[in-house]
Amino acid sequence: QVQLVQSGAEVKKPGASVKVSCKASGYTFTSYYMHWVRQAPGQGLEWMGIINPSGGSTSYAQKLQGRVTMTRDTSTSTVYMELSSLRSEDTAVYYCARDLEGTRFDPWGQGTLVTVSS
Amino acid sequence: QSALTQPASVSGSPGQSITISCTGTSSDVGGYNYVSWYQQHPGKAPKLMIYDVSNRPSGVSNRFSGSKSGNTASLTISGLQAEDEADYYCSSYTSSSQRVFGTGTKVTVL
């Protein structure tokens, strides 16, 4: 079955960077784009960006431009999301989610909690 | 890109029907038939419930249905059950080829 397994929780200091991984299985990794979505505590979902695992092209939400980088490793079927210059407002659960036909997210990873605190 | 507008909360008694709205603009909801809906229980990842406005993925109950009129999409849950109590989010494709989520709606089963 299609499965997305993310890396574990992280605690970072303000100004640092974090890199979250998402390992895909159960389908052809390079055939489906992957999104990253985050959710601050008690808040709604926020779309962060998308990566094409085939060629590596990316598109990021304007709000995060310059701080977010999405990459992939086709040899391990893993996508990565790196967020730099972390601030307290970046404390959130970060999800990867597979794109289907450009119109929906399915399935989702289990989520990775990133806590930014001094 | 501003978030799509959803009511903060909707409630209903078991067996009743409820409808959640999702209002955007002509650059997202109104411009494309690419609205999807997600159910999220506390501490869990979101789950796809409706896609392309009104399509249900395999395995999702037919008590869930979707529609759209102009810049507003809607999710209807009929025959409300206790297990339907959760947060619901809409999402849309946008004119800049990005995605946007709704503000989220907490559904309470009375």
pLDDT above 90: residue A12: yes
How far does A24 lie from chain B, in Å, by closest CA?
16
Asked if A100's CB is within 8 angstroms of B45's CB, the reply is: no
Determine what percent of chain A is predicted with pLDDT higher than 90. Answer: 99
Asked if B97's CB is within 8 angstroms of A44's CB, the reply is: no
pLDDT tens digits along A58-99: 999 999 999 999 999 999 999 999 999 999 999 999 999 999
Q: Which residues fall within 8 angstroms of residue A48, CB to CB, at 6 or more apart?
A: A35, A36, A37, A38, A60, A61, A64, A68, A81, A94
pLDDT above 90: residue B1: no
DSSP label at A113?
A: E
Q: Whole-angstrom distance between the N-terminal and C-terminal Cα of chain B? A: 35
pLDDT tens digits along B45-98: 999 999 999 999 999 999 999 999 999 999 999 999 999 999 999 999 999 999
Q: Whole-angstrom distance between the N-terminal and C-terminal Cα of chain A? A: 40
Which chain B residues are within 8 Å of A46, Cβ to Cβ?
101
Q: Which residues fall within 8 angstroms of residue B20, CB to CB, at 6 or more apart?
A: B6, B7, B10, B74, B75, B76, B77, B88, B90, B105, B107
Helix (H, G, I), strand (E, B) or coil at A26: coil
pLDDT tens digits along B26-57: 999 999 999 999 999 999 999 999 999 999 99
pLDDT tens digits along A26-65: 999 999 999 999 999 999 999 999 999 999 999 999 999 9
Closest-approach residue (CA) in chain B for A62 = B1
How far does B104 lie from chain A, in Å, by closest CA?
6
pLDDT score of B62:
97
Range 71-100 of B in CB contact (< 8 A) with A: 89, 91, 93, 97-100
